[in-house]
């Protein structure tokens, strides 16, 4: 019996897709940078099925590419073009197993979307703070496999900080059960944190226990104009010193980014009349229903008196706040509609963000006149999406052909400031070769040793990360 027939015997014939037309949506990542072909797409519904699928693939030496919502941006979920790998879709493994508001924990399957996880927390008056623009389609398994960040890292940390335990299937089909509601468990190696961020190369995450938090009773969202990123850094530190833990998000946006969203998005007007070179989208939250808005207004008045900001607007409704957030969340899509864009997901220490943006922008535009830097992102944790839109009227293909050359410039500045070439998107295929150049050799050796121990045949997400 051939492999496809054996896989069908495990998951059912309708759960094994081998027709190229049926598989096409699984073969390409959102940017269109990576496109592959697979022997089949396998869509199990239980952990037992996943265990048996991996055992069969390990026995036959068949590569397995785990895939959640297919929202990743570095090709980590895309097969190669040899058509000898299977795509293991986790989308049908989508049960909310348990929600425990007393312990502030919920246990969910890997295929549960982030939006559903958030709603499950809210249903018991709790809050799950991971928040991404793709939360309606990205899945918890993918979030954990890539150690997703998002807009609330400044307050709650990344995905790794939000998980207490995981369940994962290893390459040979064995199930690693490290699900736990315990916040203290000092019994050896932390296998949960090892699996998180491994991009499906060490095991297939099938479920996770996630931390829940008290649901804030009040939120205040602010959009302010700024002279430059240096002022943004000063404002960030002022917000932290005056508002403490109430500060939930601090997003930096350039004027060019706002203009692109207004041009290509569904928003008809600027947040306020006067134009500023830079903006900050800032969110605060508190457990008390009263007093937060007054405290934010007072803080902003003090910041304005210190000339830290120009104009500003405070959202007066949920819809108004959503308009502010759309300016941020639609930025990547607006760049796509504007033309080709060379993108970098990098991080430096927050104090170095202004200098990094200035130097990287200067070097890129000096080398490629007309290129348009669009630097935006999570200033509160130093994660900047340093994207460059093509010159007006330039040829798309010719501009994208400059990706590696532009990347060398940007990553050189990142290295100068002791930063990271991947802040939250992962390595995947896009940055695999770059990782070998920048990662400490001893760390790489240790990573390869772990990979060899857990996946000796190399079937798990081959060609990714390492």
* pLDDT one-digit tens code per residue, 333-359: 899 999 999 999 999 999 999 999 999
Same domain? 356 vs 282: no
- At residue 133 the predicted structure's pLDDT band, cuts being 50, 70 and 90, is confident
Same domain? 194 vs 110: yes
Same domain? 243 vs 198: no
> What is the signed CA dihedral for 24, 26, 28, 30, rounded to 10 degrees?
120
Same domain? 313 vs 235: yes
- At residue 54 the predicted structure's pLDDT band, cuts being 50, 70 and 90, is very high
Q: Select from 233, 223, 282, 283 the least CA-distant residue to 255.
A: 223
pLDDT at 270: 85
Same domain? 208 vs 223: no
- d(CA 418, CA 400) in angstroms, rounded, equals 27
Query: Would residue 235 count as lying in a domain?
Result: yes
Tell me which of 406, 423, 440 is where a domain ends: 423
Q: Which domain holds residue 113?
A: 96-214
- d(CA 283, CA 251) in angstroms, rounded, equals 9
Same domain? 101 vs 152: yes
Statement: residue 457 has pLDDT above 70? yes
Q: How many domains does the chain have?
A: 3
Query: Would residue 310 count as lying in a domain?
Result: yes
Query: Would residue 4 count as lying in a domain?
Result: no
pLDDT at 272: 85
What is the CB neighbour count within 10 angstroms for residue 190?
14
- d(CA 124, CA 464) in angstroms, rounded, equals 38
What is the CB neighbour count within 10 angstroms for residue 304?
15
What is the CB neighbour count within 10 angstroms for residue 367?
13
Same domain? 205 vs 101: yes
Percent of the chain past pLDDT 70, that is, above it, reads: 99
Same domain? 247 vs 344: no
β-partners of residue 278 are: 226, 254
pLDDT at 43: 98
- d(CA 246, CA 293) in angstroms, rounded, equals 11
Tell me which of 214, 244, 275 is where a domain ends: 214
Q: Are 8 and 16 in contact (CB under 8 A)?
A: yes
**Where residue 164 sits, what CATH number does that domain have?**
3.30.465.10
Tell me which of 329, 361, 396 is where a domain ends: 329
Query: Would residue 362 count as lying in a domain?
Result: yes
- At residue 9 the predicted structure's pLDDT band, cuts being 50, 70 and 90, is very high
Same domain? 233 vs 200: no
Q: Phi and psi dihedrals of 145, rounded to 5?
A: -60, -30
Query: DSSP string covering 175-205, please?
Result: EEE-----S---SS--HHHHHTTSTTSS-EE
pLDDT at 33: 86
Query: Would residue 12 count as lying in a domain?
Result: no
Structure confidence by residue, pLDDT tens digits, 144-154: 999 999 999 99
Structure confidence by residue, pLDDT tens digits, 169-228: 999 999 999 999 999 999 999 999 999 999 999 999 999 999 999 999 999 999 999 999
Q: Are 20 and 77 in contact (CB under 8 A)?
A: no
Statement: residue 293 has pLDDT above 70? yes
- d(CA 256, CA 260) in angstroms, rounded, equals 6
**Where residue 404 sits, what CATH number does that domain have?**
3.30.70.2740
User: What mean pLDDT is reported for the chain?
Assistant: 95
Q: Phi and psi dihedrals of 454, rounded to 5?
A: -90, -25
- d(CA 13, CA 156) in angstroms, rounded, equals 43
Query: Would residue 13 count as lying in a domain?
Result: no
Same domain? 325 vs 362: no
Query: Would residue 3 count as lying in a domain?
Result: no
Same domain? 242 vs 303: yes
Q: Return the HEC string of 296-331.
A: HHHHHHHHHHCCCCCCEEECCCHHHHHHHHHHHHCH
Q: Which of 15-19, 29-33, 74-78, 113-117 has the lowest mean pLDDT?
A: 29-33
Query: Would residue 17 count as lying in a domain?
Result: no
**Where residue 292 sits, what CATH number does that domain have?**
3.30.70.2190
Same domain? 168 vs 259: no
Percent of the chain past pLDDT 90, that is, above it, reads: 93
Q: Are 338 and 262 in contact (CB under 8 A)?
A: no
pLDDT greater at residue 437 or residue 111: 111
pLDDT at 1: 60
Q: Find tokens 């940390």 and name the residue.
A: 157
In the chain, the largest separation of any two C-alpha atoms, in whole Å, equals 77
pLDDT at 344: 95
- At residue 31 the predicted structure's pLDDT band, cuts being 50, 70 and 90, is confident
Side-chain half-sphere exposure of 379, counting CA atoms within 13 A: 34
- At residue 268 the predicted structure's pLDDT band, cuts being 50, 70 and 90, is low
What is the pLDDT averaged over residues 311-331? 92
Q: Are 64 and 54 in contact (CB under 8 A)?
A: yes
- At residue 273 the predicted structure's pLDDT band, cuts being 50, 70 and 90, is confident
């Amino acid at each position: 019996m051939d492999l496809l027939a054996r896989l069908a015997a495990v998951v059912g014939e309708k759960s094994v897709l081998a027709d190229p037309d049926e598989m096409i949506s699984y073969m390409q990542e959102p940017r269109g940078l990576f496109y592959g072909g697979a022997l089949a797409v396998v869509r199990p519904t239980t952990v037992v099925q996943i265990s048996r699928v991996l055992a069969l693939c390990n026995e036959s030496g068949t590569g397995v590419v785990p895939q959640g919502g297919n929202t990743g941006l570095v090709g980590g979920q895309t097969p190669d073009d040899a058509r000898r790998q299977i795509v293991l879709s986790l989308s049908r493994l989508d049960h909310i197993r348990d929600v425990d508001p007393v312990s502030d924990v919920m246990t969910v399957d890997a295929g549960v979307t982030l939006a559903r996880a958030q709603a499950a927390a809210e249903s018991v008056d709790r809050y799950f703070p991971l928040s991404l623009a793709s939360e309606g389609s990205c899945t918890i398994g993918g979030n954990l496999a890539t150690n997703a960040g998002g807009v609330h890292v400044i307050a709650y940390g990344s995905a790794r900080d939000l998980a207490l335990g995981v369940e994962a299937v290893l390459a040979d089909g064995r199930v690693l059960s490290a699900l736990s509601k315990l916040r203290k468990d000092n019994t050896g190696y932390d296998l949960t944190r090892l699996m998180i961020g491994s991009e499906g190369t060490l095991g297939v995450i099938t479920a996770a226990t996630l931390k829940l938090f008290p649901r804030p009773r009040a939120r205040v969202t602010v959009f302010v104009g700024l002279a430059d990123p240096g002022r943004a850094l000063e404002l960030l530190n002022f917000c932290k010193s005056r508002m403490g833990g109430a500060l939930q998000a601090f997003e930096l946006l350039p004027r060019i980014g706002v203009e692109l969203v207004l041009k290509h998005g569904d928003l008809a007007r600027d947040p306020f009349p006067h134009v500023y070179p830079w903006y900050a989208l800032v969110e605060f939250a508190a457990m008390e229903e009263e007093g937060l808005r007054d405290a934010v207004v007072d803080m902003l008045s003090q910041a304005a008196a210190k000339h830290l900001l120009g104009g500003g607007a405070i959202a007066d409704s949920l819809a108004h706040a959503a308009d502010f957030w759309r300016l941020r969340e639609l930025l990547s899509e607006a760049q796509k509609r504007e033309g080709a864009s060379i993108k970098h997901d990098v991080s430096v220490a927050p104090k170095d963000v202004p200098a990094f943006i200035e130097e990287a922008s200067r070097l890129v535009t000096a080398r490629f006149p007309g290129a348009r830097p669009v630097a935006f992102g999570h200033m509160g944790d130093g994660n900047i999406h340093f994207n460059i839109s093509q010159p007006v009227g330039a040829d798309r293909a010719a501009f994208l052909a400059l990706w590696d050359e532009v990347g060398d410039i940007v990553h050189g500045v990142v290295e100068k400031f002791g930063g990271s070439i991947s802040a939250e998107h992962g390595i995947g295929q896009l940055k695999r070769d770059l990782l070998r150049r920048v990662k400490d050799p001893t760390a790489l050796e240790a990573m390869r040793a772990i990979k060899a121990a857990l996946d000796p045949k190399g079937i798990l997400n081959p060609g990714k990360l390492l």
